[in-house]
């Protein structure tokens, strides 16, 4: 009878586990066999790894990075007394309306079109209709595999270009601040920065040009009418002096106080009517000198001061704020968002209609002021006819003296306004700093 060897016990590791370097009788596989398996399938493993790497590269290449450029403008409206008015840009509502107007100017279609034209953005990558990224670049090759020039792919519809430009750019005024921020997002970091700088440049250039044109035309009109008023003053003074020498009389300061008071009242009304007519004539000339566009009218002072325009602007801003609140809850295609945007566009249209109504009413106001001046002059002439036979020489003297005084007041008033308008060329303007 032979002795059978006892089976050896498996060795235990430091944690009481079976050793991994030796195969036990239970059939455990050594590490060497695993290594042989890996070597047998190495090409399949390498192929899968390479395939995953290529797929990852294509995914990464198809993603186009978006760059953002920002600029902040400090816009300070330096106030001054306006022609024939004590109004100026002051108070919270007027300032809010002023800065909303500046944002609208920056968002205007004409400004966007000018920037697109000067930078030739029609052929830029941000405005090409094809897909972006690596896959899109393959579609920009001709039949020979050569890249197609950007000009052949460019969009030439200016309305489409402007719409795309406005989707990339945003402008907003900071609350309780004199700062207006401009942001542009694009695929080319260099061009993105150039676009923001060009928007600022075109905006400043337009504001300065509008100010120079308005101030120059106002100064020219005042200079011409000041010379006319001066000639009338000289003629009236000469006529008064000639009459006094002819009749051998002095002034009529102490004569006929009651009658002088009556004529003084009508002359005050006549002066007020002339002043009002001159005020509306200046406004009418200013409107005629501007292009008939909302961008040219919305920054006029009497438009900004109009209560109806201010109320509609506030309503428009309220709807815009509601859209911001709804945007946090719903997507862009949600019915509430669509309805709110439709209401916002309607509010903007009402603002523009009201601005045109205010501007169009200037012609009627001017005609009414002219008619009022004629009516007061007619009453004055009737009073002259009634009192001519009673007053005689002293009546004519008082009339000439009042004519001199009226012409002198009108001349001094125009001279003062001319000085103010001349100062406004430098001080009464929008001060813009980047």
* β-sheet with 179-186: strand ranges across: 169-173, 179-186, 67-77, 430-433
- Per residue in 308-320, pLDDT (tens digit) is 878 888 888 888 8
Contact between 150 and 128 (Cβ < 8 Å): yes
- The domain limits of the chain are 66-212, 214-428
What pLDDT, on the 0 to 100 scale, is given for residue 197? Answer: 92
Going by the DSSP 8-state scheme, the letter that residue 18 receives in this structure is: B
Q: How much is the average pLDDT of 293-306?
A: 73
Q: Which residue has the higher pLDDT, 42 or 430?
A: 42
The span from the CA of 418 to the CA of 33, in Å, is 103
Contact between 429 and 78 (Cβ < 8 Å): yes
Residues 265, 269, 275: CA angle, nearest 5 degrees: 140
For β-strands 67-77 and 430-433, DSSP reports them as antiparallel
Residues 342, 347, 349: CA angle, nearest 5 degrees: 95
Highest mean pLDDT among 7-11, 253-257, 273-277: 273-277
The span from the CA of 299 to the CA of 316, in Å, is 17
DSSP bridge pairs for 68: 185
Q: What are phi and psi of 22, to 5 degrees?
A: -125, 140
Contact between 161 and 121 (Cβ < 8 Å): yes
Helices (H), 290-334: 294-297, 301-304, 307-327
What pLDDT, on the 0 to 100 scale, is given for residue 263? Answer: 74
Contact between 344 and 319 (Cβ < 8 Å): yes
The kind and range of the H/E element at 73 are strand 67-77
The span from the CA of 370 to the CA of 19, in Å, is 114
Nearest Cα residue to 306 out of 366, 349, 345, 353: 353
| Average pLDDT taken over every residue of the chain | 75
What is the pTM for the complete model shown?
Answer: 0.43
- Per residue in 109-135, pLDDT (tens digit) is 889 898 989 888 888 777 766 554 444
């Amino acid at each position: 009878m032979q002795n059978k060897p006892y089976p050896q016990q498996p060795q235990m590791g430091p944690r009481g586990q079976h050793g991994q370097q030796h195969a036990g009788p239970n059939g455990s596989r050594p590490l060497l066999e695993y290594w042989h398996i890996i070597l047998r399938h190495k090409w399949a493993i390498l192929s899968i790894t390479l395939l995953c790497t290529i797929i990852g590269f294509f995914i990464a290449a198809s993603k186009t990075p978006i760059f953002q450029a920002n600029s902040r403008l400090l816009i300070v409206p330096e106030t001054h007394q306006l022609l024939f008015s004590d109004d100026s840009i002051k108070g919270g509502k007027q300032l809010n309306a002023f800065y909303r107007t500046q944002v609208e100017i920056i968002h205007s279609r004409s400004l966007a079109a000018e920037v697109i034209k000067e930078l030739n953005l029609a052929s830029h990558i941000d405005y090409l209709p094809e897909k972006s990224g690596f896959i899109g670049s393959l579609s920009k090759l001709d039949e020979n595999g050569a890249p197609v020039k950007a000009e052949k792919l460019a969009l030439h519809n200016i309305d489409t270009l402007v719409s795309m430009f406005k989707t990339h750019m945003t402008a907003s005024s900071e609350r309780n601040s004199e700062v207006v921020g401009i942001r542009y997002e694009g695929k080319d970091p260099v061009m993105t920065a150039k676009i923001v700088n060009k928007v600022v440049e075109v905006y400043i250039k337009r504001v300065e040009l509008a100010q120079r044109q308005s101030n120059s035309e106002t100064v020219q009109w005042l200079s011409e009418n000041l010379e006319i008023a001066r000639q009338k003053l000289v003629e009236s003074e000469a006529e008064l002096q000639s009459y006094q020498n002819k009749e051998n009389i002095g002034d009529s300061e102490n004569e006929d106080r009651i009658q002088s008071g009556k004529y003084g009242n009508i002359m005050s009304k006549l002066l007020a009517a002339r002043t009002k007519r001159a005020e509306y004539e200046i406004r009418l000339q200013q409107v005629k000198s501007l292009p008939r566009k909302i961008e040219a009218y919305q920054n006029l002072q009497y438009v900004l001061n109009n209560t109806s325009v201010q109320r509609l602007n506030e309503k428009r801003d309220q709807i815009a704020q509601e859209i911001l609140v709804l945007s946090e809850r719903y997507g862009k295609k949600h019915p509430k968002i669509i309805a709110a945007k439709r209401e916002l566009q309607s509010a903007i249209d009402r603002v523009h209609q009201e601005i045109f109504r205010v501007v169009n009413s200037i012609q009627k106001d001017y005609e009414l002021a002219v008619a009022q001046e004629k009516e007061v002059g007619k009453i004055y002439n009737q009073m002259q006819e009634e009192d001519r036979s009673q007053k005689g020489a002293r009546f004519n003297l008082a009339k000439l003296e009042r004519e001199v005084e009226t012409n002198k007041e009108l001349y001094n008033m125009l001279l003062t306004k001319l000085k103010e308008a001349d100062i406004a060329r430098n001080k009464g303007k929008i001060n813009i700093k980047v």
